[in-house]
Amino acid sequence: MKPGNIVPTFSVLPSAVVQSVKDVFEDGVKCLQEIPQLEPRLLHTLFKTHAKKTVKAPIIPQEKPKIPEKSNKKALVDENTWLWDAQQVLIENLERAIEPLDKYVQTFAAFKEENELNPDKYMKTLDDPENPMEPAALKADIFRHRKLEEQLMAKIPESVNVGMFQINCKDIRNAYAAKYRDIQDKELKLIAQRAKDNTYSLNAKFGEITAKILAVPKTIDEMTDLKKYI
């Protein structure tokens, strides 16, 4: 997933798969052209030269072979036409097979909200000193994000088969779910921090009260003030 993109990209481009299969096909045909003849090796005494000889093998034409005109009786059909046709059929079927991949990956546009979600920015809206969210509201928000995470995990499978291909969705699934978990963790820490701050504040106030109560009044006015305070 590239930053700013709603729709993810494949780690291996579908077009690269087509090219890889084509390369394997061509390499396989080239290997056939390197198969040595057995006779010169087994019966080397019957051959004057010992140069490497290979069996006759098909060759993929560089361009589509032309069909000879019927009027030209001397012209022959290219004997490798079948190989050209086989390669073209293979490539056409592969290109047709990768078409659904792009359509499937477009379905991730439905997760625009998860893609644009930024846990740090979201937490800044909750930790506003002028308008802090109450602990009860934070608790409710934690449960809300937990439910959103569960729904996300149910919507996106770890992998899915699209035609002859298996797409691994685990990485993007975990990345989106991690955002919800991150928010939950940060909200729990925020609740704990506020509880800690409140505890310090209460201790400080109790300290002030204790000091004032235990102070020995020196005048009648101070005694009157202490009585009113208590």
User: Hey, CA dihedral for 33, 35, 36, 37, is it positive or negative?
Assistant: negative
> How confident is the prediction for the chain on average, in pLDDT?
85
Mean pLDDT of 134-139: 90
Query: Which of 142, 149, 137, 132 has the alpha carbon at shortest distance from 186?
Result: 142
* Residue range 32-86, pLDDT digits in tens: 888 887 776 666 666 666 667 777 888 999 888 888 777 777 777 888 899 999 9
Q: What pLDDT does 52 receive? A: 73
Residue 102 — pLDDT band, cuts 50, 70, 90? Answer: confident
Instruction: Tell me the C-alpha distance between 133 and 143, whole Å.
Output: 15
Instruction: Tell me the C-alpha distance between 182 and 89, whole Å.
Output: 50
Among residues 75, 90, 110, which one ends one of the domains? Answer: 110
- 98 and 148 inside one domain: no
Q: What pLDDT does 78 receive? A: 80
Q: What pLDDT does 158 receive? A: 93
Return the beta strands (E) in 34-134 as ranges: none
Among residues 84, 110, 136, which one ends one of the domains? Answer: 110
Among residues 67, 86, 110, which one ends one of the domains? Answer: 110
Mean pLDDT of 135-154: 94
Q: Rounded to two decimals, what is the model's pTM?
A: 0.67
Q: Among 83-97, 195-209, 212-226, whose mean pLDDT is lowest?
A: 212-226
Residue 130 — pLDDT band, cuts 50, 70, 90? Answer: confident
Mean pLDDT of 177-205: 90
Count, residues in the chain: 230
Q: What pLDDT does 46 receive? A: 66
CB-based contacts of 114, cutoff 8 Å, min separation 6: 152, 176, 179, 180
Share of the chain above pLDDT 70, in %: 90
CB-based contacts of 183, cutoff 8 Å, min separation 6: 119, 122, 123, 145
The dihedral formed by the CA atoms of 213, 215, 220 and 226, expressed in degrees to the nearest 10: -20
Instruction: Tell me the C-alpha distance between 193 and 128, whole Å.
Output: 14
Q: Which domain holds residue 80?
A: 1-110
- 28 and 105 inside one domain: yes
Do residues 2 and 108 touch, judged by C-beta distance below 8 A? Answer: no
Q: What pLDDT does 49 receive? A: 66
Domain count, the chain: 2
Q: What pLDDT does 229 receive? A: 65
- 212 and 187 inside one domain: yes
